[in-house]
A and B are shown apart, each in its own frame.
Chain A
């Protein structure tokens, strides 16, 4: 809080929950350019066409596509 000066940081919009647009659950998110809640492979454009795979808890590596592998 600070003294009122009408700076951009002090301007707000009041949005009532019942008037807010629902969070989208499908379709294209234009900001991130991804389809919402739609599973995808992340395929490298290098020549072997490998994909990103989650290895162990927190690592991502390049692996050959295995369509039924949920880690991909």
Chain B
């Protein structure tokens, strides 16, 4: 940002979700990371989601979703507790052993209860409300656990309504390890 001078580097067009300057470069979230305080810069257009913006006039900004509303992007109702039940024969529930996610027989403990938190866009544990589903290994691993909520890539999941829960970024699905329908098996 600098003092207004209307020279080419201050002129931006709103083109189908891109903010484009005269040189054809676009506004982009640097590092492509959707994180608080991430810098915004100008780069070549490649149509990544990190270059897509919506101009929302202040008087048209929708209200924040509240408890009971459905977040359509994530396919989940806000703060509405749910169980996650495997469709394997046992129909065990996703549960926690320590911070590790496993399948277990229904037991009425809060460790089997989950809810979607609108503020963080994560799935939180009713047992530990400061913790969210998390792909271990900095989002690169295969094991699921709960970890302190940070809303990073490995903590954003949607319910796709058909095949289950998938990570918003890499599309990988929540899965009973090896498909083994055993008490305490890893998720």
Give A residues with C-beta under 8 Å from B.
31-35, 38-48, 50, 52, 54-55, 57-65, 67
Chain B residue at smallest Cβ distance from A58? B1
Chain B residues closer than 8 Å to A38, beta-carbon distance: 57-58
Asked if B36 and A34 make an inter-chain contact with CB atoms under 8 angstroms apart, the answer reads no
Q: How far is the CA of A41 from the CA of B38 in the complex (A)?
A: 17
Number of interface residues of B (CB under 8 A): 35
Q: List 24 A-B contacts (CB under 8 A).
A: A33-B13, A39-B58, A40-B57, A41-B57, A41-B61, A42-B19, A42-B55, A43-B54, A43-B56, A44-B54, A45-B17, A46-B34, A46-B52, A48-B34, A50-B36, A52-B27, A60-B1, A60-B40, A61-B38, A62-B29, A62-B35, A62-B36, A62-B37, A67-B61
Q: How far is the CA of A41 from the CA of B64 in the complex (A)?
A: 14
Q: Which residue from A41, A43, A50, A59 sits with its C-beta under 8 Å from B1?
A: A59
Q: A41-B56, A47-B34, A64-B36 are in contact. List 14 more A-B contacts (CB 8 A).
A: A32-B14, A33-B15, A40-B58, A42-B55, A44-B50, A44-B52, A46-B49, A48-B34, A48-B151, A60-B40, A61-B40, A62-B34, A62-B38, A63-B36
